[in-house]
């Protein structure tokens, strides 16, 4: 009925791009921040300005990872090294954390002015999972997870949240490490083999595979089904409603 193997007791959902259409919001905010930074950096260093590719570079280096890892991994791909700085660096600081905070201002402005779109198939799937009596957690790298769950009304379906704030306070490794998903399963007292992971990001699917979860469902919103499969997704769907029998 839920399109999952027998024995699954808990569902661990990524947020951005799986439940809500916020992966696109994040990608746009990253582009706004990185393009501004790259324009300044290339002028200062006398090199050509090459804009951030909000599809290829976002998917490969940023999507699904904690904020600072996204900054660091993208800069490394462009052979740019900045000091880490500290989490409370101002948005104008030329540090990994400063750039991350600048991006966070952009993402929060977009969430608050444009609102957040919930994928209707995901809302229906969450309701079906609840009715079937399975446990439900959201596992996201985003420190904005609680705000998004609140403004969309999705919070009512979710029993546990492991997010960007949890990563900081509990010193967890972010995706592609499996630790955030493992922490969510542990909160339910459910073995990884009895939990399903739902992910749209390459780093997130890798995390699900590395944690040996019972089922890793890749959610392909942007035409990267082959990449999700290559990272180890057991199945790939275009929408969570595709898993429901009565679509």
Comparing CB distances to ligand BG6, the nearer of 23 and 219 is 23
Per CB under 6 A, the segment of 73-81, 139-147, 183-191, 238-246 that binds ligand BG6 is: 139-147
For residue 240, state whether it binds ligand BG6 (rule: CB under 6 A).
no
Q: Give me the active site residues, please.
A: 14, 16
For residue 144, state whether it binds ligand BG6 (rule: CB under 6 A).
yes
For residue 218, state whether it binds ligand BG6 (rule: CB under 6 A).
no
Residue 63's alpha-carbon distances to 2, 93, 200, 247, in angstroms, are 26, 23, 9, 29
For residue 57, state whether it binds ligand BG6 (rule: CB under 6 A).
no
Comparing CB distances to ligand BG6, the nearer of 104 and 206 is 104
Nearest Cα neighbor of 12 from 165, 148, 126 is 126
Per CB under 6 A, the list member of 18, 33, 57, 70 interacting with ligand BG6 is: 70
- Distance CA(168)–CA(130), nearest Å, equals 29
For residue 208, state whether it binds ligand BG6 (rule: CB under 6 A).
no
Residue 199's alpha-carbon distances to 21, 122, 123, 179, in angstroms, are 13, 12, 15, 15
Per CB under 6 A, the list member of 10, 12, 18, 23 interacting with ligand BG6 is: 23
* Contact (Cβ atoms closer than 8 angstroms) between residue 179 and residue 172: yes
SS3 sequence, 58-118? Answer: HHHHHCCCCHHHHHHHHHHHCCCCCCCCCCCCCCCCCCHHHHHHHHHHHHHHHHHHHCCCE
DSSP 151: H
Rounded to a whole number of angstroms, the minimum distance from the CB of residue 130 to ligand BG6 is 22
Rounded to a whole number of angstroms, the minimum distance from the CB of residue 6 to ligand BG6 is 30
Instruction: Give Cβ neighbours of residue 193 (< 8 Å, ≥ 6 apart).
Output: 7, 212, 213, 214
Largest CA distance in the chain: 60
Q: Give the contact letters, 177-206, x = binds to ligand BG6 (CB under 6 A), - = no.
A: ------------------------x-----
For residue 164, state whether it binds ligand BG6 (rule: CB under 6 A).
yes
Rounded to a whole number of angstroms, the minimum distance from the CB of residue 209 to ligand BG6 is 17
Comparing CB distances to ligand BG6, the nearer of 16 and 32 is 16
For residue 54, state whether it binds ligand BG6 (rule: CB under 6 A).
no
Q: How many residues line the site for ligand BG6 (CB under 6 A)?
A: 18
For residue 214, state whether it binds ligand BG6 (rule: CB under 6 A).
no
Residue in this structure with the two tokens 């890892």, named with its chain if needed: 69
Q: To which H or E segment does residue 149 belong?
A: helix 145-152
* Contact (Cβ atoms closer than 8 angstroms) between residue 96 and residue 71: yes
Residues that bind ligand BG6 (CB under 6 A): 16, 23, 26, 62-64, 66-67, 70, 104, 107, 140-144, 164, 201
């Amino acid at each position: 009925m839920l399109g999952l193997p027998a024995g699954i007791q808990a569902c661990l959902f990524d947020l951005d791009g799986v439940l809500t259409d916020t992966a696109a919001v994040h990608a746009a905010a990253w582009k706004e921040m990185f393009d501004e930074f790259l324009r300044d950096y290339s002028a200062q260093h006398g090199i050509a300005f090459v804009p951030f590719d909000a599809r290829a570079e976002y998917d490969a280096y940023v999507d699904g990872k904690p904020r600072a890892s996204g900054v660091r991994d993208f800069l490394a791909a462009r052979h740019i090294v900045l000091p880490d700085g500290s989490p409370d660096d101002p948005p104008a600081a030329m540090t990994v954390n400063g750039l991350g905070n600048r991006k966070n201002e952009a993402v929060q402005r977009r969430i608050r002015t444009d609102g957040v779109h919930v994928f209707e198939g995901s809302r229906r799937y969450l309701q079906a999972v609840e009715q079937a009596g399975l446990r439900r957690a959201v596992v996201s790298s985003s420190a904005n997870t609680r705000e998004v769950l609140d403004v969309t009304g999705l919070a009512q379906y979710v029993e546990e949240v492991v997010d960007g704030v949890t990563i900081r306070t509990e010193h967890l490794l972010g995706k592609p490490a499996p630790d955030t998903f493992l922490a969510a399963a542990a909160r339910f007292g459910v073995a990884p083999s009895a939990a399903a992971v739902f992910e749209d990001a390459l780093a997130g699917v890798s995390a699900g595979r590395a944690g040996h979860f019972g089922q890793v469902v890749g959610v392909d919103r942007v035409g990267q089904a082959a990449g999700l499969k290559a990272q180890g997704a057991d199945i790939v769907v275009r929408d969570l409603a595709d898993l429901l029998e009565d679509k």
